[in-house]
Amino acid sequence: DDIRHFVEEQRRAKMEVPGPLPVINNDLIVDELQVARSAAYGCAALVLNLPTLGVEQTKVLLKATKAVDLESIVAVSSKEEAQTAIDSGARMLSILHLGTVEDMVAAVDGLVIPEGQQVCKIANILANNDQQLQEIEDAWSVRDQGFNSIW
């Protein structure tokens, strides 16, 4: 229910500054009912965690998101999972749990993408507890390496 309230809050922000943001359901999505609820609540997208769901369930939920006109972001932790996600139809990847910029870049380097298609690459960068603000440097680095977004 929290996500429903957040979507409604964003809907009411139309014509205000700042305007509404698209809502991405980043809850643990495991079945088609959760996909349908996300669509019914007005979410723009949701995250499917490939390592948790497995390949077959990820494919099922990718089809379900397309059926209800939701964008899907598939979270992956390795190059093999990234390629599997693309082969399953994913066009947005969130690279998770990789500690360095080099590891994130390696996870998407050389992926085979279907002709005429593009894949949005999202780097998941965790905040560091130090005062050096290394995560800001990492964000710039992954952008320069071809990532499209930071989470």
Global confidence as pTM = 0.89
In 3D, which of 127, 42, 26, 39 has the Cα closest to residue 74? Answer: 26
Tally of CA atoms within 13 A in the half-sphere of 116 that contains its CB: 0
Q: For the segment 87-143, what is each residue's pLDDT rounded down to a tens digit? A: 999 999 999 867 788 999 999 999 999 999 999 999 998 877 766 788 888 899 999
Supply the mean pLDDT for the chain: 91
Query: What length does the chain have?
Result: 151
